[in-house]
Amino acid sequence: MTVEQIHVDTLVVGAGQAGVAMSEHLSTLGVPHLVLERSRVAEAWRTGRWDSLVANGPAWHDRFPGLEFSIDPDGFAAKDQVADYFEAYAQKINAPIRTGVEVRKVLRNSGRPGFTVETSAGVIQANRVVAATGPFQRPVIPPIAPRDSALEQIHSADYRNPQQLPAGAVLVVGAGSSGVQIADELQRAGRQVYLSVGAHDRPPRSYRNRDFCWWLGVLGEWDAEIAKPGREHVTIAVSGARGGQTIDFRALAHQGITLVGLTRAFDGQRVSFQADLVENLARGDENYLALLDAADAYIARNGLDLPLEPEARRRLPDPDCVQQPLLELDLAAAGVTSIIWATGYAVDFTWLQVDAFTEHGKPRHQRGVSSEPGIYFIGLPWLSRRGSSFIWGVWHDAKHIADHIATQRKYQAYSDAAQQPAPAENQTKTFSPVGAL
């Protein structure tokens, strides 16, 4: 299939949830557009995650406004159900998506408007480009990782199930939602697991009959525009696994996981950990209790009739690994044969060769509208608010960006009308969806 020499008004790169949301809002405003996806719709949910993953939020919450999941609204959709959902959504809105086409380079045209876009199927001219290529593109493994070790080392992006790892104990580095769920799964599969825990937030799965997603919504936290100072890199440890349970690190330790502090360095067979486990757990507890307090205050202020839940404030006794934290571990003696780096992701915009980045390579934008006129970003963490990289947040950012594009088109149509006989729309071929939708 070739894209040939075609001209689109707005090109959206990527058909995950961000690209589908963009398409919905562009269509609503009558903006001609094309979405190019190198793989399939919602590929990250389909093949980019471990086998047992379910959504971290309940089905009533982790969705777009226009379509419900066909599962219990309080349940947690399996990753393939999430992928199916976005495919169904794309079909429902008749999104003009072409799958199997990779965008390789975007360059601003010189002396004329728009961008030249090189793809795996030909060259496109686009007036505007929206980068919807995802918040988690390049797995990051910190430089402390031992290089010439016989240990099996993978990033959480490549973890699928316990059977893929060689027999033996596992060190999981990072205890955000991915690390903590993977550690739990490995321990339940009979592995000895060491879990390296850094700074984290750990909201209760539910409190007083409401899921934490509801609490963060009514308390305005999903709409927070910037992270609290000092908490910019704090992960959030939540899980929808096994019906959804609060992440309680002490419970994981009583279950058999050995908790350790931040992983500091490797020296031959030995790994050292920072002496910060107790402090990290204490700050996680603080965050947990602060949410309970805020929820109680909200209930009182609004006179809501929600059941009391005093047991939510009960704390398990500190397990041995918290009372006497390990500061060093001989990996061979402990039988550790693999390390899983659940240490996050970075973005990769090497294909987008425009003036929309800071000197450190970070997208330069305001609510997704970049400093290079005509270039937009969507789906990035904290693009406009805390919810921006999540299913329910990206939908609102897409609306804002589509509005901006529609407004720009009005300005351009005005000058076109004054200088040229044909309005911009007539120069744009329209596209029907092609590809494996």
Ligand X SMILES: Cc1cc2nc3c(=O)[nH]c(=O)nc-3n(C[C@H](O)[C@H](O)[C@H](O)COP(=O)(O)OP(=O)(O)OC[C@H]3O[C@@H](n4cnc5c(N)ncnc54)[C@H](O)[C@@H]3O)c2cc1C
214 binds ligand X (CB under 6 A): no
DSSP 340-374: EE---EE---TTEESS-B-TTS-B-EETTEESSTT
Q: How far is the CB of 160 from ligand X (least distance, A)?
A: 12
Counting contacts by CB under 6 A, is residue 160 touching ligand X? no
Q: Does 337 bind ligand X (CB under 6 A)?
A: no
CB of 75 to ligand X, least distance (A): 12
Query: Considering the rule CB under 6 A, would residue 102 count as an interface residue with ligand X?
Result: yes
Q: Of 37, 201, 248, 372, which lies in the binding site for ligand X, with binding defined by CB under 6 A?
A: 37
Instruction: Determine the interface stretch with ligand X among 47-55, 258-266, 295-303, 421-429 (rule: CB under 6 A).
Output: 47-55
Decide: helix, strand or coil at residue 26: helix
Site membership for ligand X, residue 56 (CB under 6 A): yes
Tokens representing 216 are 């963060």
**How far is CA 365 from each of CA 361, 376, 382, rounded to the nearest angstrom?**
12, 8, 11
Spell out, one character per residue from 338 to 357, where the chain touches ligand X: x when CB under 6 A holds, - when not.
-------------x------
Task: Out of 23, 39, 263, 280, point to the residue binding ligand X (CB under 6 A).
Answer: 39
Q: Is 179 in the site for ligand X (CB under 6 A)?
A: no
DSSP string, 208-255: TTEEHHHHHHHTT-TT-SSPPTT-TT-EE----GGG-----HHHHHHH
How far is the C-alpha of 412 from the C-alpha of 247, rounded, in Å? 52
The yes or no reply on residue 252 touching ligand X (CB under 6 A) is no
Q: Does 23 bind ligand X (CB under 6 A)?
A: no
The footprint of ligand X on residues 380-419 (CB under 6 A) is: 389-391
Q: Residue 98 and residue 267: Cα distance in Å, rounded?
A: 49
**284 lies in the site for ligand X, by CB under 6 A:** no
> Helix and strand tally (H, E) in the chain?
9, 24
Cα-Cα end-to-end distance for the chain = 15
Least Å distance between CB 191 and ligand X?
A: 20
- Which of 178, 239, 258, 388 binds ligand X (CB under 6 A)? It is 178
Taking the C-alpha atoms of residue 124 and residue 360, their distance in angstroms, rounded to an integer, is 29
The answer to whether residue 51 forms part of the interface with ligand X (CB under 6 A) is no
| Residue 83 near ligand X by CB under 6 A | no
Q: Give me the least distance between CB of 108 and ligand X, in Å please.
A: 17
CB of 17 vs ligand X, minimal distance in Å = 4
Residue nearest to ligand X (CB): 16
Handedness of CA 343, 345, 346, 348 (dihedral sign): positive
Question: Interface with ligand X includes 117 (CB under 6 A)?
Answer: no
For residue 159, the number of C-alpha atoms closer than 13 Å in the C-beta half-sphere is 27
By CB under 6 A, name the one of 11, 26, 31, 36 that touches ligand X: 36
* Least distance in angstroms from the C-beta of 310 to ligand X: 29
Beta carbons of 342 and 178 less than 8 angstroms apart? yes
Q: Is 99 in the site for ligand X (CB under 6 A)?
A: no
Q: Give contact residues for ligand X (rule: CB under 6 A).
A: 13-19, 36-39, 43-45, 49, 53, 55-57, 62, 102-103, 132-136, 178, 351, 379, 389-391
